Chain A
């Protein structure tokens, strides 16, 4: 991190989706705004900017974090993973595929954050049951789906990952 004395701007190097990314931001810039506005990774969405809705969830060193409650500067030296880093341009990950197959999204605005949380859950608890899935999802607000098909998609992804050779 370098600080430019003139503008008070910080020059950051962030590890995002496995790539080193440079950004120059004000110290107060949140990680979410840095990802969206400086790195043009607009898949991370902002729904409340006070840490409740979960839409902005990303992985920081593999753990879910609200990117609206974290400063970009705090992410330096960490591995940040966003929705764009899940499958890139390649085949959809089983979780994404399950969301498509099981109609796990409607407007799609909360979906990126939900997918990041479930990525963490399925990594840590590959046999997560419905209760565990609902508990993990309780940090996300979705106004469209009533959560039912999100849960169904997550369960279907569990099944798919289990069957994978």
Chain B
């Protein structure tokens, strides 16, 4: 063998590169394909008739006028759908024997409606316009029943029942405890109590939900396009409820215009539309409008906490105990993960020797709750961070010092908490340096110099404040995610996964991982996600999990393909596998690039030639499929600090500066990660200052437009300063930790702390979010009158 060629450069690293996204050119030209863009011959359109009552009996549904409405093809009620469904009731998303039976929503409500927005009928017509005409012409005779709007009232023995079929309004209660709180509190130097409230908000992706279903009677098969975070679960659920085999149901998630939790559920509407298509033998489309999203898409975060902290004289935590009431809404479509996550997230990055929490999951006549970006962690974090600020305040200690004294030190990693996650595994903080994150951010925001800045501002009559908070988030939940990596005879590399793209840049991130393992760049790679025909199973997009789980599957599958290609090339070139390297579409002898075999040729060989043998010992197909299962979750962490100015006259809060540090382990694409952190923070800012899903005392939703329910806009948001620490996680082969939700978690806490700090003169202590101007002025007024040291939630 001669070796005159220069030793070739190693291929450039793909993991860690700020690659431009492969998703973008189409989207920038207006050539994305979202579910509303799916057009089929003979397509019909659906509109739901929704309850205007928070609680009522459905006496009769008169569809005659609706059926006479021009364009209307059919009006379907629960009775009609029952003919084609195996059950009218949705399955429980996370099945468990720990919850009572008969708690999930109905596809269409047969006899009782339990929240405003619950669907009772479905009108199918030739256009969306005529379908809505038809829906307006359906006459439903309701008998209103008393409704429960507040989850605290729901627990009262005299409360009306949210659903007649339930024994009472307590869905479940549970206790989480370790150590000996009674003893710790008895002997503590200090005990402080807080009553806290986090308000309900929506996920509000700018694209709402939507589905197109096309039943082919000849093939007895259903094609579905849905804006979903869970294609495979939708496939399995529709198959089960329509009595079809999984093989007969094909689900595709086209471009998804954001999810944020709202689309990690199989909704009644999706099953209703699939059933309608089967009953009518025609394709049917339903595109949710915003008014529907406000009343019928999931919400989260309504929780009331009554908690105490025990601390020693130095502000060290001795114990936390209390009680929390979680507002579950009228039904339980998924489980009690919001309440459970919140309860287990309280201790977060801190050493808490004793803990006891009683949790009541209360039902109300409001739309059901499942996780929105953050999934209970923002609530648990708010509780802990408010308590620590209280300790600092009462003990006249620096807030940063109180945290420093209680953080899990880097030297203690991995740190096993005496708590279990909902899969039953011990919560193990795997890596990170929380104190270093805190110190760096406080340095960047000049915390040391803030007291002087604050004094000067006060002299000018301005109230500025600085606040901060920690967060940790378990990411990369199992049980698995799927990936198939395949090189076709064309040379194109296809990555197929059950992970779901909903705007995060999943395709680019997975392409970078595959590209790195196959010595190419991302232009050579196509990523297929959300298509049940592309891979047999998948779990989908929730819990900041996909880079961890799907990323690991892609990495391992791509490595297997690499190995396979080298084994074949080794036989062809008569060299050792170890001397071969895959790069730029070829397998070449290391240092001798002219000795090489193109991957296209290997792919063609492994495709097989009829009647001839395959190369030895590799099996058919230049491809591999991996369902990587995490053994433990990867705990990402963040520390945020912000500076605010409050106008005591108006209650207006202006964010002057926002600095965030996040440790998500190895960064696959720093640009994408930054973008995720930006979006997460701004979602948190919405929760902190703006987003307020209001219901009146009869559980009527009263903030059902974007003019009433305020999402943050560009003028409220300062330039966000985002920093990273990269502590690789040993829980997965990439060393990554999840990203998507982490940025949201500490925001309400940091903003509340800053507002407290700005309004110290008034003795304001924030106990509830959002901190809207009306509530803040009330607190300021009360502080003016009483100079009270503590304000509690309403």
Contacts and interface: CB of A to CB of B under 8 A. Distances in A.
Contacts of A146: 678-683, 712, 717, 720
Interface string B656-693: 00000000000000011011101111110000000000
A96 B206 contact: no
B30 interface: yes
Contacts of B287: 46
Band of interface residues on A = 35 or more
A78 to B, nearest CB: 19
Contacts of A66: none
B21 interface: yes
A99 to B, nearest CB: 6
Sort chain B's interface into a size bin.
35 or more
B206 A148 contact: no
Interface SS of chain A: loop
Nearest to B681: A146
A79 interface: no
A7 to B, nearest CB: 9
B679 A106 contact: yes
Contacts of B206: 45, 47, 53, 55, 107, 109-110, 141-143
B429 interface: no
B706 A50 contact: yes
Contacts of B28: 92, 96, 99-100, 105, 108, 111, 115
A147 B717 contact: yes
Interface in B25-39: 25, 27-34, 36-37, 39
Chain A CB within 10 A, most for which of B29, B289, B503: B29
B139 interface: no
Given A50-B290, A50-B706, A143 B34 contact: no
Given A49-B289, A138-B713, A112 B129 contact: no
A76 interface: no
B502 interface: yes
B707 A52 contact: yes
A46 to B, nearest CB: 7
B466 interface: no
A42 B29 contact: no
Nearest to B686: A143
B203 to A, nearest CB: 8
A149 B25 contact: no
B386 to A, nearest CB: 24
Interface in B124-139: 127-129
Contact of A96 (B20, B29, B204): B29
Interface in A18-74: 26, 28-29, 33, 36-37, 40-50, 52-53, 55
A105 B503 CA distance: 8
Interface in B256-271: 256-258, 260
Nearest to A95: B28
A109 B707 contact: no
A1 interface: no
Contact of A108 (B24, B671, B678): B24
Contacts of B504: 106
B505 interface: yes
A50 B67 CA distance: 28
B638 interface: no
A40 B39 contact: yes
Interface in B696-734: 705-707, 711-715, 717, 719-720
A101 B18 CA distance: 10
Given A107-B257, A143-B711, A48 B24 contact: no
B290 A144 contact: no
Given A92-B25, A99-B24, A103-B671, A42 B705 contact: no
Contacts of B676: 106
Contacts of B404: none
Given A46-B36, A108-B503, A143-B206, A137 B257 contact: no
B615 interface: no
Given A47-B207, A149-B675, A105 B714 contact: no
Interface string B271-301: 0000000000000000101110000000000
B705 A147 contact: no
Contacts of A29: 129
B260 to A, nearest CB: 6
B257 A109 contact: yes
Interface in A74-93: 82-84, 86-87, 89, 92
A151 B716 CA distance: 13
A146 B717 CA distance: 8
B205 interface: yes
Nearest to B685: A146
B526 interface: no
Contacts of A44: 30
B168 interface: no
A109 B32 CA distance: 8
Contacts of B308: none
B129 A28 contact: yes
20 contacts: A28-B129, A43-B31, A49-B290, A49-B291, A50-B291, A52-B705, A84-B29, A86-B30, A92-B25, A100-B21, A106-B503, A106-B675, A107-B255, A107-B503, A108-B257, A109-B207, A134-B714, A137-B715, A146-B679, A148-B720
